[in-house]
Amino acid sequence: MLSFADLAQQYIDGEWRSGSGSWDIIDFNPYNGDKLAAVTVATVDEVDQAYRAAERAQPAWAETNPYARRQVIERMIKLVEEHEAEIADLIMAELGGTRLKAGFELMLVKEMLREAMNWALSPVGQILPSMTDGKENRVYRLPVGTVCVISPFNFPLFLSIKSVAPALALGNAVVLKPHQNSPVTGGSLIARLFELAGLPKGLLNVVVTDIAEIGDALIDHPVPQLISFTGSDKVGRHVATVAAANFKRCVLELGGNSALIVLDDADVDYAVDAAVFSRYVHQGQVCMAANRVLVDRRLEKEFTEKFVAKVKTLKVGDPTDPGTHIGPLINSNQAEAVTTLIDEAVRGGATALLRGETQGNIVPPTVLTGIPEGSAVLGQEIFGPVALIIPFEGEDEAVRLANDTPYGLSGAVHTADTDRGVRVAKRIRTGMIHINDSTIADEPIVSFGGEKSSGVGRLNGEATVEAFTTTKTISVQHGRSPFPF
């Protein structure tokens, strides 16, 4: 039932259909190159059909009892649990995700869906006093209407669900465009599961397409009131520009260049474990990954030796092998880009303490040190298994180095003194930062989002309700209001 052959379609107004474009998006297994599916792209006309279907279906859904909306999400959770093994296989095949990564993503999906059940009942109104005698001000919290969700390829099932599920739970309709490298796990799989969960037709539409086919039609269409985009800051800037020109709201979850800071009193062994996970999970294709590991000079030698030793134990290869830690990058372009970045860093003076030879889409884990200050590699997001070890002297330098990037998504501080860690963390311009833990964390009730080029807006918890709803004030005058003329 959940196969690439069955799911390689568009889903518009409750119907599975082929796109009418003149070319296909080919879905490849990034590890072995096998062709998984071909999806004929949706056209501008089909994007319009998806939005119009959402526009028609949404008003009745908004009036639906929120307990009924919650029941759809509840059935969705049961379906994910029932088909967990099948879904894990799809993740491994389409994304090159390891079994560990597939399990991690599914755990996040289930937790997000459980919280979405609560969000269905979350919107509350207010009755506020008035300056005018006999008047009351009623403030209602209502769905925004139709939401456009654009998801990335790295955690496509989770990052699509993260916007789709709460948007639906709160009474909105959704048009979802998954990334071209993850059309099934980021798109049509979700549509099939919601279809089986009993979601009325038209409320969730999935269009598999590309900007080369539709241009800006997805984001400048008049129907959607909110764009929820997860991806690169370059594309995010364009989305924000188009949205602003059309007075649309945006939630932008963009790139990162997180720093994991190891202060002089840190538990070195534990910090090594946290840093290796933070850098190399899912081949480093995580926006919150610790690109930079900042280590106090007094611990640099010990930390570096133990870090390199642990990275050497990571198994590289077939993501379906339960023992594999590092699988392939998503495609050949990404593998070539990361390999070139390593080459340029070494030519620029960096020392490779560990490096292997790129084979196909597999880039072995790399550890670089001795990177000259001002090197381009220090300021950018590295979407691959490359760690930068950077020494510092004292908290002030650690903070300066951590902030020396256009991004500000996540981070971590390791220290024996929690209060010290918090003091340092407060000085770093990030949306999130973690004391004595990984840089990678996303909990459904905890605000998630970045500063600077890492995005605009927040999701999770109260921020999710704020993002996918709007307020409407209705004043009621009891009796006659006095007028000055």
Task: Read off the tokens for 277.
Answer: 């996970």
Rounded to 10°, the helix 99-119/156-169 angle is 10
| Nearest to 431, CA basis, from 477, 482, 439, 270 | 439
Taking the CA atoms of the chain, what radius of gyration do you get in angstroms? Answer: 24
Nearest-angstrom CA–CA distance, 256 and 430: 9
- Contact present, 203 and 30 (Cβ < 8 Å): no
At 89, the amino acid letter reads D
What residues does 354 pair with on adjacent strands? 367
The pairing of strands 10-12 and 15-17 is: antiparallel
Please count the other Cβ atoms lying within 10 Å of the Cβ belonging to residue 127.
Answer: 9
* Dihedral, CA of residue 279, residue 285, residue 291 and residue 295, to nearest 10: -10
Reading the block at residue 143, the tokens are 């769905």
Instruction: For the chain, give the number of residues.
Output: 485
DSSP for 295-319, please give it: EEHHHHHHHHHHHHHHHHT--BS-T
Distance (Å, whole) CA 293 – CA 202 = 47
Closest C-alpha among 122, 201, 204, 195 to residue 160: 204
Task: Identify which of 286, 327, 329 has the alpha carbon closest to the alpha carbon of residue 442.
Answer: 286
DSSP states of 164-176: HHHHHHTT-EEEE
Catalytic positions are 253, 287
Rounded to the nearest 10 degrees, the angle between the axes of helix 189-196 and helix 156-169 is 40
CA angle 268, 311, 433 (to 5 degrees): 55
Mapping DSSP to helix (H, G, I), strand (E, B) and coil, where does residue 337 land?
helix
CA-nearest of 431, 452, 453, 451 to 442 is: 431
Q: Collapsing DSSP states into helix, strand and coil, what is residue 483?
A: coil
Can you read off the two tokens belonging to residue 273? 């474990």
Distance of alpha carbon 382 from alpha carbon 108, whole angstroms: 23
**C-beta of residue 327 within 8 angstroms of C-beta of residue 102:** no
* Secondary structure (3-state) at 90: helix
